[in-house]
Chain A
Amino acid sequence: MSLVPNAVRTGAWAAGSDAPEKKEVKIGFIPLTDCSSVVMASVMEFDKKYGIKIVPSKEASWAAVRDKLVNGELDAAHVLYGLIYGLQMGVGGPKKDMAVLMNLNHNGQAITLSRKLYDKGVVDGFTLKKLIDKEKADYTFAQTFPTGTHAMWLYYWLAAHGINPFADVKTITVPPPQMVANMRVGNMDGYCVGEPWNNRAIVDKIGFTANTTQEIWKDHPEKTLGCSAEFVQKNPNTARAMTAAVIEAGRWIDASLVNRQKTAEVVADKSYVNTDKDVIVARMLGRYDNGIGKVWDDKDYMKFYNDGYVTFPYLSDGMWFMTQHRRWGLLKEDPDYLAIAKKVNRIDVYKEAAAMTKTPLPKEPMRSAKMIDGVVWDGKDPAKYAGSFKVKVA
């Protein structure tokens, strides 16, 4: 415990040249479990402690989040990592200099396949590949945004099982809350989306979890707290305060199962995710059921802090999304991966926010992971890595 009273410490940050330039910030979010730390920063008033007021704003589509970040209607957003990089590079739409202030969560998305496929003997990626080879048909798979994380997890997962996402199957984009309904009417065979929409398919008995995304990449980056570079430039103190408030909310969520339970109750409300609390809470606590007989306690469930491992904006994480955009032809040539990641991922702002919240920092801005196909990504040679995949478009 600090000897300095809380009010004095926060007063110090809110005074003089450290005072937030903009006191009220509108942060967009999409109804998904991983919007939790943004929502709790407001609900638990961690924002107040840093001299700002966070106003969460529910958005209807990722396209709307993007447009509002570009035109300034939103100050920041709970946003797909890949979308920020797509916007930075101008992939299929506007081009704008963007900023990743922090990563919001690790894990907690999944690949859901339909009961119809299960009835044909499909239980995982390998049996799916067998069926596709044997039975010619239009197989349709959905993700949530063309440059987003779910598109990249879905493509990576299909390719890891020898299925080319653009040649062997049809891929489409479907808004997260509509995934379950579209699978129910037989419109698609599989999808990748954030929770609670995978567990919802199991509860509704229309699909099963073939793989969680933490099985594709343990502790993968996912949503970021993103904003335009212009916003950080004009409001550096607000950007720092916002980051500190959300880091602290993430820490609070991860602190105990009781806090996780409470978070699930709050975000289940119709102003946020709008679904049954029970559908959210199970996987939030790491209690997994794949819907076809496997039940387990997953230690790699959705995390929001994990001693700062979740929240740090690793350069290798940002670069990875560009390597996959390159792999699938969204980028026509290799960009200067490292230079762009250094520009977008605002480690400078994050470090100050980490100091304010006493969050440990990693030694290196790169990290290493072994993916589901056995390939290691460590950020060292991104162009070579991007070109090394057998299944690809570019």
Chain B
Amino acid sequence: MRVLVIDELAEDLEERAEILRDGLERAGHEVVASLSSPLELLRAVERLRPDVIVIDTESPTRDVLEHLVIVSQSSPRPIVMFASDSGGEAIREAVRAGVSAYVVDGLDAGRVNTIVEVACARFDELQRLKVELADANLKLSERKLVERAKGLLMQSRGISEDQAYHALRKLAMSKKQRLGDVAQQLIDSAELLGKA
């Protein structure tokens, strides 16, 4: 089967297409990617004649596909897969994972479900990786701030690195703030006073 993946941004698109390829090409499906600008998308659908279209549930472009669904009942174009399954577990799962799928009428439901399941699982995985990456980035930038704040304290108060760290932590705990936030405030005030 030919699967078309649609996304708003070029970088996200390749990422999404890649994770789907990984799961689906081994099973003999072909994965093609397209950007979501309405006319580009319509041309891509006409040219590629996909059996299944996978798109982010929150994409504004979904409405463009809805029109195709309505006007192309006689030609092999996508229709909403959830037509026969409205309110069911499949749609809930797909929406939660951020996947909407549009498929050609008359396809083997089992095979389509496999594609959507793979898409859901992969999108979940992608989402988890993104959250992890954001977390790691936050921690990294916090560590940098704490390092700088420690340096400022050591310099101005003539204390050891260990003492500086404990001073910061005590302040953070007493103000019920994140260590990174307290460090940022200290750096800001030092800059204001021309000491940084």
Contact residues of A with B, CB < 8 Å? 60-64, 67-68, 70-71, 73, 90-96, 142, 144-147, 166, 171-175, 177-178, 182, 187, 330
**B70 to A91, Cβ gap below 8 A?**
yes
The answer to the question of B57 belonging to the interface, with a C-beta cut-off of 8 Å to chain A, is yes
Binds A, one of B77-85, B115-123, B153-161: B77-85
Return the chain A residue nearest B56 by Cβ: A60
Contact with A along B11-55 (1 / 0, CB 8 A): 000000000000000000000000001110010000000000000
Q: How many Å from the CB of A61 to the closest CB on chain B?
A: 4
With A60-B58, A71-B87 given, is the CB distance from A174 to B100 under 8 Å? no
Contacts of A67 in B (CB 8 A): 57, 82, 91, 95, 100
**B95 to A146, Cβ gap below 8 A?**
no
Return the chain A residue nearest B73 by Cβ: A92
* Interface SS majority for chain B: helix
With A94-B82, A95-B86 given, is the CB distance from A175 to B91 under 8 Å? no
Contact residues of B with A, CB < 8 Å? 37-39, 42, 57-67, 69-71, 79-80, 82-83, 86-87, 91-92, 95, 100
Contacts of B57 in A (CB 8 A): 64, 67
Contacts of B71 in A (CB 8 A): 146, 166, 171
**B58 to A64, Cβ gap below 8 A?**
yes
For the complex, give the distance between the alpha carbons of A247 and B74 in Å: 43
**B95 to A73, Cβ gap below 8 A?**
yes
Question: Which single member of B42, B60, B69, B100 contacts A175 (CB below 8 Å)?
Answer: B60
Question: Which single member of A62, A70, A91, A178 contacts B87 (CB below 8 Å)?
Answer: A70
For the complex, give the distance between the alpha carbons of A67 and B87 in Å: 9
Return the chain B residue nearest A151 by Cβ: B67
Q: How many Å from the CB of A323 to the closest CB on chain B?
A: 17
With A67-B95, A92-B66 given, is the CB distance from A187 to B39 under 8 Å? yes
For the complex, give the distance between the alpha carbons of A374 and B117 in Å: 53
Contacts of A61 in B (CB 8 A): 58-63
**B70 to A60, Cβ gap below 8 A?**
no
With A61-B60, A67-B95, A187-B38 given, is the CB distance from A94 to B65 under 8 Å? no
Contacts beyond the supplied A67-B82, A95-B83, A173-B67: 10 A-B pairs with Cβ under 8 Å: A62-B66, A70-B91, A71-B91, A73-B95, A92-B66, A96-B86, A142-B38, A173-B63, A178-B38, A178-B60
Contacts of A96 in B (CB 8 A): 86-87
Closest 5 CB pairs of A and B: A94-B86, A173-B67, A175-B60, A63-B62, A146-B70
Q: How many Å from the CB of A30 to the closest CB on chain B?
A: 9
For the complex, give the distance between the alpha carbons of A357 and B82 in Å: 40
Q: How many Å from the CB of B155 to the closest CB on chain A?
A: 42
With A63-B66, A173-B67, A187-B38 given, is the CB distance from A94 to B83 under 8 Å? yes
**B38 to A174, Cβ gap below 8 A?**
yes
Q: How many Å from the CB of B36 to the closest CB on chain A?
A: 10
Q: How many Å from the CB of B6 to the closest CB on chain A?
A: 12
Contacts of B69 in A (CB 8 A): 92-93, 146
For the complex, give the distance between the alpha carbons of A68 and B57 in Å: 10
Question: Which single member of B39, B66, B82, B86 contacts A145 (CB below 8 Å)?
Answer: B66
